[in-house]
Amino acid sequence: MTAEETKVEVPAKFEKLVGEVEKMSIAELAELVKVLENKFGVSAAVVAPVSAAAEASADKEEKTSFNVELKEVGAQKIEVIKVVRDVTAKGLKESKDLVDAAVAGTAQMIKEGVKKEEADEIAKKFTTAGAKVEIK
């Protein structure tokens, strides 16, 4: 859109100033903006309205419930099975089946809906056993 397509009514007291600004190059306008920002301690950054993506991002920052997922078992399969039993209170067969599924390349949910501190503690146990987990 050009200035002719979008006619803006300029108050009389600003006509001279707007006329001067219209004559400036892009580089001069950028310099003017920086000078005004520094002089008045403000920012000319555009403030966008809150979008759905921004709201989703804010929700992630305020997340209080996390899931721990086993991605890779590593070389110490037996140690990982022990950690699974400890963390989930599952039996030996269920823990072994879960670890075997992770070995086959399918990520396995270990614990759901835990607090950040507990999720970090669980992740640390798996890392110590040589496994890789992801906190979501």
The pLDDT tens digits for 74-127 are 888 889 889 889 888 888 998 889 888 888 888 888 888 888 888 889 888 888
List every span in the chain annotated with CATH 3.30.1390.10. 66-135
Question: What stretch of H or E contains 35?
Answer: helix 26-40
What pLDDT score does 1 carry? 47
CA distances from 119 to 4, 56, 94, 115 (A): 59, 21, 21, 6
5 pLDDT band (50/70/90 cuts)? low
2 pLDDT band (50/70/90 cuts)? low
Q: pLDDT, tens digit, for every residue of 25-74?
A: 988 888 888 888 888 888 777 665 655 555 655 555 567 888 888 888 88
Q: In this structure, how many other beta carbons lie within 10 angstroms of the beta carbon of residue 136?
A: 11
Which residue's structure tokens are 């759901």? 112
Q: Are 107 and 70 in contact (CB under 8 A)?
A: yes
Q: Are 32 and 24 in contact (CB under 8 A)?
A: yes
What is the rounded CA–CA span in Å between residue 65 and residue 43? 36
CATH class of 66-135: alpha beta
